[in-house]
Amino acid sequence: MDWKLLGSTFFAILIAELGDKTQLATLSLAAGSASRWTVFLGSALALVVTSAIGAFLGGVLGRWISPIWLRRAAGATFLVMGLLFLLRRPEG
């Protein structure tokens, strides 16, 4: 096992997920529920499934597209999304 890759993946996902909409949704579901462990298991399983999909697609796309171009495309997508959010007119 590549421990360096495991650690960097763990910390990258941990930092990315802190305070995002997934964590806020989990927080609100747990606040309105008598069973916090059920909410935890549901949200943990959802994160595992989405991570599995991402890892699978990354492996498949990595066979045809260079990893550097995948990173560039992901970075460009985040930049475009960020600009769209910044330039979006407030509703109301």
Instruction: List, as one string, the DSSP characters of 31-44.
Output: HT-S-HHHHHHHHH
pLDDT tens-digit profile of 1-11? 999 999 999 99
Kindly report the pTM of this predicted structure.
0.67
**Among candidates 12, 38, 14, which has minimal Cα distance to 26?**
38
CA–CA dist 56, 15 (Å, integer) = 22
Query: Is residue 92 included in any domain, yes or no?
Result: no
pLDDT tens-digit profile of 41-60? 999 999 999 999 999 998 99
pLDDT of residue 30: 93
Query: Is residue 23 included in any domain, yes or no?
Result: yes
Q: Is the pLDDT score of 77 beyond 90?
A: yes
Query: Is residue 70 included in any domain, yes or no?
Result: yes
Domain extent for 19: 3-87
Domain count across the chain = 1
pLDDT of residue 92: 61
Q: What is the gyration radius of the CA atoms in the chain, in angstroms? A: 17
Tokens 């609100």 correspond to 28
